[in-house]
Structure 1
């Protein structure tokens, strides 16, 4: 592989205009396709096959369009038919009054009449006849029917309803309008990402000592994410793609795009400083550092694409999108970057005195750290594990769920409506449970009455609404209002209790009974993901063992790498639980509403962090193995590996973490905790695991760390990740 990459690097530099034009044509092609035929993104997380999704499908069939959108959001239908949007107005009267007072009730009616008169509104429910009034009269709500789907609601309708709400607030009412076009817009790109790029540029300038050199990884990474984003937008025209998919691809594309270019560029400039010509230097840089880049990129691609085995469509889409974006970043690093280096020529050669001073300082620091780690390996291992263990403790309290309005910023309509409804009606009104009583033979109304009576006796039930049959009389719904919110433990307990009663109720009524709603969907999704996580984790760890076995031709190095990866994951989970679930440092990280973490985050984090963690394992350990193979002792190989790789690995980790952290403050409640978890995981993995624990463990193992049975050595393919064969071949060619 190293020889092929050597030739590719030289070709790309010699034919730099062709390579540059080719990549620009790729960008133009996918960009045109995205602009002319690209789709749109959503925030729905479809998991078909769960009980809650199947119940929503039946609801849509039996009760019509009023349940179609909910069914699509839970994976029950394809949601292809857009239905007119519905918004909700919630009103709480001025202090000292209730909506039961005749004067106050009349004022509420006047407010709703004004809402009904807004252009684009086709109807407003009457809370006094629909009985959507809080039991103590502290508030009411009315559903507002709009003429068109949310995406097509005109601005005049939105501003008209907002004006009605504003006037009510001026009159002393607490009033909100939410749902449909009033929900927060998807924020995929917020502008904070530029802060991450600026931080990356600063780190690159400090690391490379040249603004021209520092700009190249930024340019190539931006081109890669532009191609990746355009491709994802084009795919969105044919399948459902969540906004988190694009955000994840952008994060990974920027992070690995900059890092991969940095590894090759750093080796290239080192070779220039040693006196190589630009053409020879680029060939050797791509052949050696490029081999590590390709191997690391392949691990990220395989791990990300491995999300498809979980069997959850939107996770599979996220994995494929991330894998494709990383693959583009690898291709750009080994083709376009050498072309750009050809345009720069010798201007990237480090100034000798400055480069020597920097390298001496870095070598001294790295050597001291390496000697400390290898000199006291037991103490270092214990200290590192204690630090990681402390970070991981909160993970024992991990709770999973789906995002709801309680996690939106307080300034949004959705959050204000969520809080007002919880204050006036109780927290359970934000997550009602819908119990479907399906009786094709008829008698659904009587069966539903029996179900409602039984459910009313359960704990954690605030209210059971009267059953609502469909027109055919073969199905009915029983709405159960829990005492807790949609993501509370009490509501989860209630869902399990209702399902525990199902067998007796089905036997006594002859109807099929299923439970859906936000809390039920949370439980179903979490259960499916939890069942998939062990197998996926086994797949990822097994992949790590096999790939590292091939790369380093060692039994114990892959084992220590896999253990280190699990430690990094544990620390990442712990820190994320502390901030996003417990609310520690919530103000610092812009956490509006602490709560359960995303149900799919553990699987996603394991897949993505594995690939990224292996990057640093490859870049550090490959140099250690190279020195060991050439006769250095195990301890000396560790120290030399630090001297040659620590500076660029630390820079790469800081750059990657900076990119991730920039997305934490982007405003997306879905992507922020994922970005935070990845940022913490990368820093822990690079700084504690790969540069501390792994070298200490390898020191204790000594030369046995590199042991491999002879029979296995014969059957394993040789990937020459360190470029040793390439170096020998070039040396032999020069002697001829």
Structure 2
């Protein structure tokens, strides 16, 4: 089927290319004009934090159920001056005027005294916004910054305690990755034209996929960083897939095939691997939808859509482009390779494989030991969300965060909001009793007086922890208050208490993710085992791949914990602050790494199995298979490492973390796994690699990923006069 599709695309090459370019341009223009809103709301339906927000909204505390911000003031000589008071009064009246529904508490209002630090040099205005939509919050920050810029008091520093769009957007990191990919492709192919093809497919696929995500945001919740992450994945896999096809196409040209047949052969072999790998990534990503988390669902659908567009480009656009530039590549190839002459391009890889196979136990133990050491930090993995303390020190939000922590303690940057709902207007007494119970906890810095609804049925408390929002102690405090402090107060009273706010909501999301992570990992590894068993008809080779895949994922997670949670190499990598691993990252990382590792696994094992079926010699088939694929796998992995790793150069910690994890996973997979563990373990297992009970062989379906290299050629057209 792919061969016929490839021939059709070659015949209509200009039409197919024009259709792709037109489609991508139109989608990009539409996305620029009609992009849907993004949302970074990680609240979970049915969670306690969401229940707290619902109770407050129903009782009329709309602003308290939205987003909290702070306008922070700092003056060396003290903030309590006439000029500062006038400026604060202007801010307190101007903010609700510019942001309808906002509630502002001034440090100079009655009851606001606690918003002036003991030293008198730091104070803040508390701003409660009835907003959760990311676009609306960003617009609110812009308006707050405009009001801040109007303040003209000598010696007074004013900072906004919410990240702005400008602060969270870094340099176009993808550009650095694409440039590095271009250099690698040029070295691998030795041809400028051949280098351009994978880049063009990857970039066009990424643009089309990102545009589709931005338009789909009208119907699904899409995080603000979904487009960038999906673009990163699309460029990486697009270049990777195109590299495999172009490499096989050039091999066919060297064997003397004409361009149309070389394209058909490349699609019939490498194209099927691309289709298999791409569908695997799409299925794994869409499997995250079953987790029931809106934030991850939007991200997963975005990545799946982007990979799907890129995969379609590899099986339609790429054949058309090969049909256009193929004759130039054919001339560059020179004379066809002589029949029977061996291709020595993989001689170094074959020698390496033979070295590993001579001492397989030593290499296997060394590689496994390295993976286990790299995975040790994963035992300390803590899921959560970062806060403004991980932003650049030059950003206004980071300055506000540091000033508040200095003047009031780190917990003021992440207070909890407690909703108390009681029958017959008795919320006030229940709230007072709760406040006393909370204040007795050593992890609580302060508890604000209760605010009552008009009917007295709902009260709201603000609890300030002693620890920073992202600290583990804060998560422990949330669980302790919910499990130990609340029940003795409300049991038997009919009152309902829910602890919410930004940080408790993040903790609920992280806990929910952590509970389901083992199940998702088991499903992914089980699917991997089943697919590899069906494709390669060997239980041990499939089991080996699953175990190694698990170890490589563990090593990648270990590197994430060491760098982003423990703080190793942060100065070298330009990472601003340490904190928990973003709760949405592990599941997405597992899904993507699973798909990418299946790509390399299938590409390598297909060649090994092909040689084994031909010779029956396990050792020779492993060495030959590695020799034929090592250069392509190495180039593809290097490209992905550069594309994914380039996101570490940006300023968005979410994307830094995601890109770093993918880059490390691919690097480990292409080096320790493919170049060491695969030849070592397959040598140790010998013929047992391909053992499959006869009864199981009869019951399993037969699935061939790479088709036979012998294709019927398209009938040549004979001129009428020559018959």
Q: TM-score scaled by structure 2?
A: 0.91
What corresponds to 2:230 in structure 1?
Answer: 249
8 Å Cα contact 2:167/2:395 also seen in 1: no
Residue 82 of structure 1 is matched in structure 2 by none
- Offset, 1:712: 2.7
Residues 63, 129 of structure 2: 8 Å contact kept: no
* Structure 1 residue 36, shift from structure 2 partner: 4.3
Check whether the contact 1:45–1:242 (CA below 8 A) recurs between aligned residues.
no
Q: Does 1:695 align with 2:679?
A: yes
SS of 1:630's equivalent? helix
Unmatched runs of 5 consecutive residues or more in structure 2: 717-723
> 1:183: how far off?
2.7
Q: State the distance in 2 between where 1:355 and 1:51 align.
A: 69
User: Is the alpha carbon distance of 1:16 and 1:715 closer, same or farther for their aligned partners in structure 2, counting shifts above 3 Å?
Assistant: farther
Closer/same/farther in 2, CA of residues 571 and 633 from structure 1, 3 Å limit: same
Alpha-carbon distance between aligned partners in 1 of 2:322 and 2:392, rounded to the nearest angstrom: 45
Q: 1:178 to 1:489 in 2, by over 3 A?
A: closer
Which residue, 177, 197, 218 being the options, matches 1:237? Answer: 218
Q: Which residue is 1:75 aligned to? A: none
Pair 1:176 & 2:159 matched: yes
Once the two structures are overlaid, the 10-residue window that deviates more, 485-494 or 250-259, is 485-494
Query: Given the alignment of the two structures, is residue 215 of structure 1 paired with residue 196 of structure 2, yes or no?
Result: yes
Given the superposition, is the C-alpha separation of residues 383 and 91 from structure 1 closer, same or farther in structure 2, using an over 3 Å criterion?
A: same
- C-alpha offsets along residues 217-272 of structure 1, whole Å, 9 cap, x if unaligned? 11111111111111111111223211222122111100010010000000101110
Q: In structure 2, do the counterparts of structure 1 residues 714 and 7 end up closer, same or farther at CA, with 3 Å as the change threshold?
A: farther
C-alpha distance in 1 between matches for 2:259 and 2:121: 76
Change (3 A) 1:591 1:157: closer
CA distance in 2, matches of 1:135, 1:150: 31
Q: Which runs of 5+ in 1 are unaligned?
A: 71-85
> How far has the Cα of 1:718 moved from its partner?
2.7
| Residues 144/707 of structure 1: CA separation in 2 closer, same or farther (3 Å cut) | closer
- 4+ residue segments displaced more than 6 Å: 145-148, 154-157, 353-356, 728-731
Specify which of 425, 443, 457 is matched with residue 426 of structure 2: 443
Counterpart in 1 of 2:72?
Answer: 90
| Pick aligned residue for 1:456 from 426, 435, 439 | 439
CA distance in structure 2 between the partners assigned to 1:146 and 1:191 by the alignment? 31
Matched, 1:106 2:78: no
Match of 1:636 among 620, 636, 661: 620
Q: How does 1:317-396 map to 2 (within 5 A)?
A: 317-349=298-330, 350-352=332-334, 362-396=345-379
Which of 469, 473, 493 aligns to 1:486? It is: 469
Out of 569, 573, 580, the residue aligned to residue 596 of structure 1 is: 580
Task: Provide the C-alpha distance between the structure 1 equivalents of 2:501 and 2:563, rounded to a whole number of angstroms.
Answer: 27
**Alpha carbons 2:64, 2:128 under 8 Å: kept:** no
- Aligned partners of 1:444, 1:521: CA distance in 2, in Å? 23
In structure 2, distance between residues paired with 1:228 and 1:209 = 30
Q: Secondary structure at the match of 1:252?
A: helix
Distance in 1 separating the partners of 2:647 and 2:141: 31
Residues 299-698 of structure 1 correspond to what in structure 2 (within 5 A)? 299-349=280-330, 350-352=332-334, 362-499=345-482, 500-507=484-491, 509-698=493-682
| Structure 2 residue aligned with 1:271 | 252
CA shift in 2, pair 1:671/1:157, >3 Å: closer
In 2, the alpha carbon distance for the partners of 1:298 and 1:659 equals 21
Q: State the superposition RMSD in angstroms.
A: 2.7
- Match of residue 161 from structure 1: 148
Deviations 1:286-316 (A, max 9, x none): 1011111111111111111111121112212
The alpha carbon displacement at 1:395 in A equals 1.6
Deviations 1:308-332 (Å, cap 9, x if unpaired)? Answer: 1211122122112211211221211
Kindly indicate whether the alpha-carbon contact (under 8 Å) linking 2:475 and 2:507 is maintained by their aligned counterparts in 1. yes
The structure-2 alpha-carbon separation of the partners of 1:623 and 1:189, relative to structure 1 and needing over 3 Å to count, comes to farther
Q: Could you tell me how far apart the structure 1 residues matched to 2:144 and 2:686 are?
A: 73
Report matched runs for 1:57-96 at 5 Å: 57-70=54-67, 88-94=70-76
